Amino acid sequence: MTAHPSGRPSRRERPAKPALTQDGIISTAVRLTRAEGLQKVTMRRLAQELDTGPASLYVYVRNTAELHAAILDELVGTVDLGAAEGAGDWRERLVRVLVSYTTVLFEQPGLAKSALVARPSGVHHLDLMEVLLALLDEGGVPADRAAWALDLLLQHATATAAEHADRDGAAEAEADRRSWDALSAALLGASRTRHPHLAGLGADLLSGAPEDRLRWGFHVLINGALDTPRPPQA
């Protein structure tokens, strides 16, 4: 038999490709996200990785936004929900789960920004919400407050991670350092006449390790849910 002119096997000689499945598509998308970042994971790039056409993927995933939501849900599946069962006060266990969730978002730049708008509804995200609500219930937070507190706690985690989402490159890191230096200089040099409160707090405005501030914010929200009734509904 004459060899193929290009030296590559013809389409007929190639092994059959595995059939496309939604699980397989999402699994490949998660792998690409870890390797190249979420912003690079488009329907076209995913189709290329799967050796198919973009149109074939739309049978399983309607658009890039839905694809990113599915990726987010898969990665949320790596949150340490077991922290809810450990020893310690229910507040501390709740904060440990939330810190784990925030860490997952930090590990993939761009994922947090997607979480702000994607409104994930997959099973892993529902598992996370269920664990958080169970801990709020254990702590005696009334059910109506827990329903709203859940949203605030996840927003705090997601917004904190999203604030740093574009700072993974050298240029972004340098721009962030410059803006931080400018803010620091402005706060430390605040006029005691025009901005007496800023001048009085001084370096304390900039103090604290990022994780300490993140955890403190969670505790503020948790304690606020315990002590703040919801407004009456019309």
Confidence tier at 167 by pLDDT (50, 70, 90): low
pTM score, whole prediction: 0.80
- Per-range mean pLDDT, top range of 17-31, 114-128, 169-183, 208-222: 208-222
Q: What gap in Å lies between CA 114 and CA 141, rounded to an integer?
A: 29
| 140 membership: H or E segment, kind and range | none
Q: Is the pLDDT of residue 37 over 90?
A: no
Rounded Cα distance, 130 and 37, in Å? 28
Q: What is the pLDDT of residues 43-93, one digit of tens each?
A: 889 888 888 888 888 888 888 888 888 888 889 999 999 999 988 899 999
- Alpha-carbon distance of 202 to 197, in angstroms, equals 9
**CA–CA distance, 53 with 167 (Å, rounded to integer):** 33
What pLDDT does residue 1 have? 46
14: alpha, beta or left? (left if phi > 0; alpha if psi -120 to 50): beta
Contact (CB, 8 A) for 225 and 136: yes
**Cα 126 from Cα 6, distance rounded (Å):** 51
d(CA 30, CA 125): 16
Q: Where are the alpha helices (DSSP H) in the chain?
A: 22-36, 43-49, 54-57, 64-76, 90-107, 111-118, 123-138, 143-162, 170-188, 196-201, 210-227
Both tokens assigned to 166: 């574009």
Residues 169-181: what's their mean pLDDT?
77
Percent of the chain residues past pLDDT 90, beyond the cut: 49
For the segment 148-176, the average pLDDT, to the nearest whole number, is 81
